[in-house]
Structure 1
Amino acid sequence: MADIDLPSRYFADREEPVGDRVNMYFKLNTIKVVLKALTPKEIETIRPCFGKILDLYLKSVFSGKLAHFLLTRQLSVVKRHEIWFVFARKPIRFSLREFGLVTGLNCNPLPPLERSLIRPPPGVTPYWFTLFGGENYFTGEMLLSKLQKSKALTSELRVKYACLLLVDGFLGRRSFHMMIPREHVEMIRDLDVFLKYPWGRYSFDMTMQCIKSRSLLQLAQATVAIQGFIHALVLVFVESIPAVLSVGCDRTEPESDDEDMFPVISLKLDKVWELDGEDQVDVLSIILSADVVTRVEDCGWVDEVSDPSVQVLLKRLEEGVKFSRQMFVGGIRGWGQ
């Protein structure tokens, strides 16, 4: 009877909706544009902040369909800053800690920013005009275009355009036509301040808030739009299940009609679905960290709430309980095909 205290499912086991994909506002080929635009020395300047992000193009695990699949396997928890989902009858956690481990981004608490860092002092020209001249509206696509003609830019402009693109055109994007925030433009006046900012927590918070705001009806649709960097959920999934990488690559998923298209490779999803139906798949419910992790020292949230069902789940994990499908019950029925 104690097992009923475990979190219940959003959708009943094996009756989850069969979706098409998660609509993401970022494109992974943004990384290629940055790498092609910057010199090796300039890349090393931003690598302490964005290094693991710059290496994502080497990982053949992109899939909007897989992201949708994982979101529909969620467990019902009241935690504000984490979700749990089930794969091959085992629970997997996605929280700020996991986000930091797979992205390498600084996920420490957001520091209070002095007004002088995000607003120009009286009599000082806003930094917007230094970077963008008389343009009143500047988007990620416009930054991409600038970087694709990087030889016409100074080294300082290339680096700062790249950093703004990675943050506001990639990790923290809210829409296809989102304007680069003026506060971020003013902050990058001091590049060191910009690079030391906890962009991991900034991106994760946006992503998690969007996930949490999606209703069951929205998740049951063929497509669901998620702001922020939902691709981190797929990266955590791959880290949690070593067998996934053995299924091989399926095909290239085009992100655009550009001739110089960044090859984004998908996993063989039919093989992933087969793994989900097996009982003997090794799953790390909470992915391991390296011996020394400097980017996720403090992953707490002052407004987090207690969830008794998650505490029960964590206790079961500590006890080494062997999970079964019957342990995660409940959920809406009738959505599956």
Structure 2
Amino acid sequence: MASSSAARKYPKRLYDVDKTPIQSRSMNHSCFLANIQTVLEAVGDDVVSELRESAVGVILKLKELEYTWSASCVHHFLANQLAIDNIHEMWSLIDCMPLRFSLYEFGEITGLNCDPFDKNEIWDVEHESFWLEMNVPTSEGPTLKELQALFPICRNWSREKRVMIGLLCLLCIGILGISSNSRIPLYCAKRVMDPAAFQRYPWGRVGFTSLLESIKVLTYDGKKSYTLHGCVHALLIWVFEFVPGLGEKFGNRREGAGVPLLSWRGSRPRINFSDFCAQEKRTYQKVRVRHMVEKPIEDRYPKWEDNKVHTELDNMIQDILKGQLDEKYWEVMPATKSTKRKSHVNPPCVLDTMDVGPSTKRKKDTEHVNGCHTSETVVAHNIAILGLVESVKNLTALME
């Protein structure tokens, strides 16, 4: 891309290059897609197809894609974020190339409905009797543990109720990504009792919000581990889809939910990002990235109730859309010897004027040193000293 003609400020790195959180910190999450197999066995084969075709069916398809989770890969992008004020998106760098993770990107890679919430919707459903049957407090949503306690007995329940159990489990594991002891919000849980209401609800927006909120509150201070919520696998798919070289080297493209998904067979991919970036530069002169899902410039931001435009972020997005991104903005200049060990030379102290008038002491000194010096010689000597001082000053300025 061509550089912007005018120097424009972009968001800075969230962490300085030499202060990025180390990758030895462990990443915790509750989006264990392997647990879905137990859910399917409990609810029965006759409801699996309905779960697959539901509004959250992509979670089943993600489970069926045989790939290995790589927390270290996701951590690299979390540790190389840009300092973004917008709470609804994350930007990260790979070798000075920015990538956006927003509702647009999340929606494209998952295929989930990410439409705005309908604030005018008037909807409710009677849920108390089913909640009592599940042994769940009627004023709250169920936990995954409470749902798992039903597995030995729900096989004898009606198909309709088993579908609802399956949907609740998919919400807990794949959309919200919460722990087995955390409760599904009641307003979400009740939707499973109304198929039409469940299908039209923007579960993508729910899942994205859960995931990004856990990223935005993330802090590494004094902690050896951290926790993410939501569909964390979307982060891994985002990395490999928007950095084509990584996908080509470590992934196999498949089709799922109408959008490209990735799978990794065998052992967990080990990625040396420095080596990868160097190889990309040798072949393509820069690391290939897809910065963002491109939209018309007036729709460059997904719609949220509290949309705010931040100048530095907007500068970057507009330059990307116009093909004018300054790709050298985040370059780290290598330290030189002068910056590593800066020397300071104090110029010698020289009197502003020199007394060249006669005196008895000066005459004696002059006679002692090879005879008498003429006034021209003294002037020339003074000029030489001043020239030396000026040279020292220039050398000092140059070294600084």
Please, what TM-score do these two structures have when normalized by structure 2? 0.65
Q: Which amino acid aligns with 1:108?
A: D
More moved, 306-315 vs 53-62: 53-62
| Structure 1 residue 202 displacement after superposition | 1.1
Give the drift of 1:204.
Answer: 1.1
Task: Give the greater-gyration-radius structure (CA).
Answer: 2
Distance in 1 separating the partners of 2:107 and 2:331:
30
One-letter code aligned to 2:62? L
Q: Residue 21 of structure 1 corresponds to which residue in structure 2? A: 26
Cα deviation code 1:119-149 (max 9, x no counterpart): x4xxx8443124x047778421342454477
Q: Distance in 2 between matches of 1:134 and 1:70?
A: 39
Please, which of 49, 54, 62 is the counterpart of residue 43 of structure 1? 49
Aligned to 1:302: 305
Q: Are 1:238 and 2:240 counterparts?
A: yes
The 5 Å alignment of 1:313-332 reads 313-321=316-324, 324=327, 326-328=328-330
Correspondent of 2:60 among 29, 33, 54: 54
Distance 1:125 1:240, change over 3 A: closer
Secondary structure at the aligned position of 1:91 is classed as strand
Matches of 1:221 and 1:265, distance apart in 2: 31
- Provide closer, same or farther for how the CA distance between residues 288 and 307 of structure 1 changes in structure 2, counting only shifts above 3 A: closer
For 1:30, which of 28, 31, 35 is the aligned residue? 35
User: Can you list the C-alpha shifts for 1:175-209, whole angstroms capped at 9, x where unaligned?
Assistant: 34112444334332212212321111112112222
Structure 2 unpaired stretches of 5+:
252-263, 296-300, 333-400
Pairwise CA distance, 1:34: 4.1
User: 1:147 touches 1:162 (CA, 8 Å); kept in 2?
Assistant: no
Q: Are the structure 2 counterparts of residues 107 and 148 from structure 1 closer, same or farther at C-alpha, using a change threshold of 3 Å?
A: farther
Deviates more, 1:230-239 or 1:25-34: 25-34
Q: With CA pairs under 8 Å and 6+ residues apart, which has the higher RCO, 1 or 2?
A: 1
1:139 alignment partner, one of 118, 143, 165: 143
Structure-1 separation of matches of 2:152 and 2:237: 28
Secondary structure of residue in 2 paired with 1:225: strand
Contact 2:50 2:163 in 1 (8 A): no
Q: Which residue of 1 is the match for residue 213 of structure 2? A: 209
Alignment of 1:241-320 (within 5 A): 241-248=243-250, 267-272=268-273, 274-277=275-278, 278-279=280-281, 280-287=286-293, 299-320=302-323
Using the alignment, how far apart are the partners of 1:116 and 1:246 within structure 2? 46
TM-score, scaled relative to structure 1: 0.76
Q: Percent identity?
A: 24
* Alpha-carbon spacing, 1:311–1:55, altered in 2? closer, same or farther (3 Å): same
Aligned to 1:228: 230
Cα shift at 1:83: 1.0
Kindly provide the amino acid, as one letter, of the partner of residue 24 in structure 1: H
CA shift for structure 1 position 81 = 0.5
* Residue number in structure 2 paired with 1:74: 81
CA positional deviation for 1:56: 1.0
The superposition leaves residues 157-182 of structure 1 with CA deviations (integer Å, 9 ceiling, x where unpaired) of 22111111111233113434112444
Q: 1:90 to 1:315 in 2, by over 3 A?
A: same
Contact 1:172–1:202 under 8 Å retained in 2: yes
Unaligned runs of 5+ in 1: 250-262, 290-297, 331-337
